Amino acid sequence: MFWAKAFRIKSDVVVALCDEDILGKEIKWKKIKVKVSKHFYGERLIDEKTAVKLMEKATIGNLFGKEIVSIAKKNGFITKENIILIDGIPHAQFVKI
């Protein structure tokens, strides 16, 4: 399961998705601190099929977690080069133009 939030910014549809188990965690790596916040990611809990549908509709995607990043890669939303690790947790973003 995944936490998801979708919202509009001007003409863009932004989708934020994270693995269920990392919501609320603060991840630290070198001088970077990232909060996987309920405010940004945690609107509703969804399954894989719904996550893929949201990514299809999105013009901007923000993904955090091993499972959701793997699904995005498997479905062609991102490539291996789009993925970074923050304290060992995969993170990726995509923009459709």
87 neighbors 45 (Cβ within 8 angstroms)? no
Give the whole-angstrom CA distance, residue 95 versus residue 60: 5
Residue-level pLDDT at 28 = 85
11 neighbors 50 (Cβ within 8 angstroms)? no
Judge whether residue 33 has pLDDT over 90: no
Q: How far is CA 95 from CA 37, 59, 60, in A?
A: 21, 6, 5
Confidence of residue 97 (pLDDT cuts 50, 70, 90): confident
What are the backbone angles phi and psi of residue 24, rounded to the nearest 5°? 90, -10
Confidence (pTM): 0.91
Which class is domain 2-95? alpha beta
